[in-house]
Amino acid sequence: MHPILFEILGHQVRTYSVAMALGFVVSLALLRRRAPYEQINVDAALNSAILIIIGTIVGGRIMFIINTWSERFATEGRTAWEVFLELFKVWEGGLVFYGGFLGSILLVWLYLTIRKIPVLQYIDLYAPYGGLGLAIHRPFGCFLNGCCYGGPTHMPWGVHFPLSASATRWWGIDQALHPTQIYMGLSGLLIFFALVWYRNRKQRHGEVFGLLLMIYAVNRFLVEIVRGDKIRGHVPAFALIFLAVFGAGILLYFLFRANDGKLQPLKWVGVALYTLGGFLGLFGTTSGSALSVMESPFSTSQYIGFFVFVAGAALFYYARYYGQVVQPEYGQLIESEPEEEEAPHPEPA
């Protein structure tokens, strides 16, 4: 564990922040290089990528605050000012991936919609680099920071954290733990290579991003089984109703599409239901919820993963049957033809 990378003039530069920045920089460089091969405007791609960075940090922090409010923020003996300052200390960790994911999607969707740019084509471009960012940040940021650690294990690759680590304070110095940060990094690498392989084989725009949602949700569900950090959260059983409402809304929406738009009310009922289900599901993860009479066996990340998987499957289906067909020149670098030079004007006599 090495949470402080180095110091500059007495200011600590944290490994967590550097790893996150490195993931963004590498992904941006590859994204910029790939955009022309998908006939995507590089400037628009980079502008929306900046929004992805903002949405990741802001959305990730908001989700962390929602999930851990009663344990981390609303504690006894703290003033309102201390709690307020604590909300912004993102450099110390405390970002939830799903929150950042949702925040970045929302900002990019708004930006592309306002500019009337095809959303599905652009988010397919970004999809593989989400996995690459995880592959860089999880092993180097989370592992060296000592957060997101796993539960007890007797496997030979089990990790013993130092005395100062929260993992040691929680599980003890003699207990080896699953290196779940490494697991998630390898999972991100798998996602990156799988989506890079698939993007040249897709039929319509939107398929790659739909696959990203499904694969990540499954991988995260499996990793959560061996997570061991104390703030995992277990959503109330009642909150599973919100997932049913979300899924029902999506089904109604596609029933409207399957009837060639003849059942117009179904569209708006479907939109209302999956919006309501998603919104209530998000706040159903709040720690200390009044609904937590009986807890489900699922952590907050697993619970949100159910929504993400359903949304990914719906997006993949929508893209495959209703999305824009991939253009014939997709995957080829089309050089723009140089503009013809104007004939020189004769100099005045």
pLDDT value of position 91: 63
Query: Do 212 and 130 touch, CB atoms closer than 8 A?
Result: yes
pLDDT value of position 349: 41
Amino acid at 112: L
Stretch 79-97: mean pLDDT: 71
Query: Do 154 and 196 touch, CB atoms closer than 8 A?
Result: no
Cα dist. 103→211, 227, 232, 258 in Å? 19, 24, 21, 30
How confident is the prediction for the chain on average, in pLDDT? 84
10 or 44: which leads in pLDDT:
44
Return the domain boundaries, the chain.
Answer: 4-231
pLDDT value of position 176: 94
The burial class, CB within 10 Å (0-12 / 13-18 / 19+), for 208 is buried
Q: How far apart are CA 181 and CA 97, in angstroms?
A: 13
Residue 136 has pLDDT above 50, yes or no: yes
The SS3 call for residue 332 is coil
Least reliable range by pLDDT among 83-92, 183-192, 193-202, 206-215: 83-92
Please spell the DSSP secondary structure of 289-348, one letter per residue: -TTTTSEEEEEHHHHHHHHHHHHHHHHHHHHHHHSPBPPTTTTS--PPPPPPPPPPPPPP
Least reliable range by pLDDT among 11-15, 31-35, 75-79, 340-344: 340-344
Amino acid at 223: V
Percent composition of the chain: helix, strand, coil (DSSP 3-state, to 5): 65, 5, 30
pLDDT value of position 203: 93
The burial class, CB within 10 Å (0-12 / 13-18 / 19+), for 72 is middle
Q: What is the pLDDT of residues 256-295, one digit of tens each?
A: 877 776 777 888 898 899 999 988 887 776 654 444 456 7
Q: What is the pLDDT of residues 94-122, one digit of tens each?
A: 777 778 888 898 999 999 999 998 899 99
pLDDT value of position 339: 43
Pick from 247, 234, 238, 245: nearest CA to 285: 234
Residue 150 has pLDDT above 50, yes or no: yes
pLDDT over 70, % of the chain: 86
Q: What is the pLDDT of residues 20-73, one digit of tens each?
A: 889 999 999 999 999 999 999 999 999 998 998 898 888 888 877 777 766 666
pLDDT value of position 264: 78
Q: How far apart are CA 66 and CA 84, in angstroms?
A: 14
pLDDT value of position 336: 45
Whole-model pTM?
Answer: 0.84
Query: Do 209 and 123 touch, CB atoms closer than 8 A?
Result: yes
Question: The tokens 């993963």 sit on which residue?
Answer: 305
Give the single-character DSSP code of 227: B
Least reliable range by pLDDT among 53-67, 143-157, 166-180, 331-345: 331-345
Strand 295-299 relative to strand 234-236: parallel, antiparallel, unpaired?
A: antiparallel
pLDDT value of position 340: 46
**Residues paired with residue 13 on neighbouring β-strands, in sequence order:** 6
Stretch 9-18: mean pLDDT: 83
